[in-house]
Chain A
Amino acid sequence: MFRPATPAELAEAVELAFDYRGDVTLVLKSGEQIVGYLFNRESTGPKPLLQMFPELGGTREVAYADVVSIAFSGEDTASGNSWETWVAKKESERKADARRSESEARARGHL
């Protein structure tokens, strides 16, 4: 969990959260905690804002000034998925991965 001490540190943390491939958790001055995907931010202007898709649904706009802390709490969705990993795997492992991904897609009705 990161607690920015200055507006510059906060802006930097928001940029990192914007680039992150998973959910983040914000704690606001009100004590509210929001878990979700930070998909946009407007860091310039008189009242910098960030936009999130909370995991429970809807859209939230949060003023930078209201943020107390940011945690990179969700899984990095690209982690462990590299091309090298895929090619280097044994044939049996590749097939197992492919079957897993296929069965996940099938479970959702996408195959």
Chain B
Amino acid sequence: MAVPLSQMFTVSKYVLTQQLKGVKRYPLVLMLEPLFRCNLACAGCGKIQYPDHVLDKHLTPEQCWAAADECGAPIVSIPGGEPLIHPRMAEIVRGLVERKKYVYVCTNAILLERKLDEYTPSKYLTFSIHMDGSRDEHDLAVCRDGVYDVATKAIKEALRRGHRVTTNSTLFDDANPERVRKFFDEMMELGVEGMMISPGYSYQKAPDQKHFLKRNKTRELFAKILGNRRRGWRFNQSPLFLEFLMGRRDYQCTPWGNPTYNVFGWQKPCYLLQEGYAKTFREMMDTTAWDQYGTGRNEKCADCMVHCGYEASAVADTFGSLSGFGRTVKITLSPNAR
């Protein structure tokens, strides 16, 4: 099973509690960006295009914990920038684990092996390793040769020490379905707990604006990749989100599902769009014009099918109806069922 039962139980209890309370908008995953500095410069990334003095800014552990407390989401994902560059990252993670948050440290793993001594294995802590394909595809995507080999070595060491390890992969329009399937086999052979996949999003501030997937092409690509799925593949994400990527289900975006906090504040309206910042989570929730975002509502959202907007929709579908729950169980037990 790709997601441990305790995590499934925590998330299920949280979602059902929100629904029973009649909460219309609730966060599922806090996207915590304690810094924007990275030790790679990938052309598809829109997160690091800032002057040096901004890249040198860090959130303090206290700011990170306060954000997690205020937001209340059961899962905290720490992307960036490269989180392992932050000098107090282990302290930040410890504080979040003490709060019983399920923490995903999203790293390119270049520094992972060297930093592993600072982290204690826990069911609450997962290293989510950025892997955009097999050796050639990954090194090309991250614009540096040799990174794939460093990352796979770090994955093996983290697993050997008893850490939870997943991969996260962003697919662009040049993805070759057969190569991606081969890559999934490689990751499973490495022994990772599960994989996370998502189409790329054309960040307004990314240097590369030409290789992002359009909606129909996304569905076509993911149908080829995930159709006739091998039994051994494990995905650390909602089965219904994968169905959505394959064009078998349709959802509207849930932009408040993965709220983002970084050195600028609480980002409006979502992880991908930067329309402004609020000082508090509550202010962000209360002052964002949510109805202006999502498929068919905003041209910036037209082609987006990214996990940070649609995975929360898929989770809400699972717990929002008997048919959604039944479909989730069916797909979990038999991924190739139609």
The interface of chain A, by Cβ under 8 A from chain B, is 19, 21-23, 36-37, 39-42, 51, 53, 55, 57, 74-75, 77-79, 81-84, 86-87, 95, 97-98, 101-102, 105, 108, 110-111
Contact = CB atoms under 8 A, between A and B. Distances in A.
Nearest to A111: B39
Interface residues of B, number: 33
B51 A101 contact: no
A82 B39 contact: no
A40 B153 CA distance: 41
Nearest to B114: A111
Nearest to A54: B53
A97 B276 contact: no
A83 B211 contact: yes
In the A-B complex, the 10 residue pairs with the closest CB atoms: A83-B208, A81-B207, A105-B39, A83-B43, A78-B207, A110-B39, A78-B49, A40-B277, A77-B49, A21-B49
Contacts of B54: 37, 39, 53
B51 A55 contact: yes
A101 B44 contact: no
B264 interface: yes
A37 B53 contact: yes
Contacts of A83: 43-44, 207-208, 210-211
A2 B95 CA distance: 47
A40 B53 CA distance: 16
Nearest to A100: B41
B207 A110 contact: no
Contact of B37 (A37, A55, A57, A110): A110
B111 interface: yes
Nearest to B277: A40
A78 B40 CA distance: 14
State the main secondary structure of chain A at its contact with B: mixed
Contacts of B111: 110-111
Nearest to B43: A83
A90 B311 CA distance: 40
A101 to B, nearest CB: 5
A46 to B, nearest CB: 16
Contacts of B205: 19, 21, 78
A67 to B, nearest CB: 18
B323 to A, nearest CB: 41
A44 to B, nearest CB: 10
Interface string B180-193: 00000000000000
Contact of B143 (A37, A55, A98, A105): A98
Interface in B56-97: 57, 82, 85
B49 A55 contact: no
A39 B264 contact: yes
A77 B50 CA distance: 6
Nearest to A21: B49
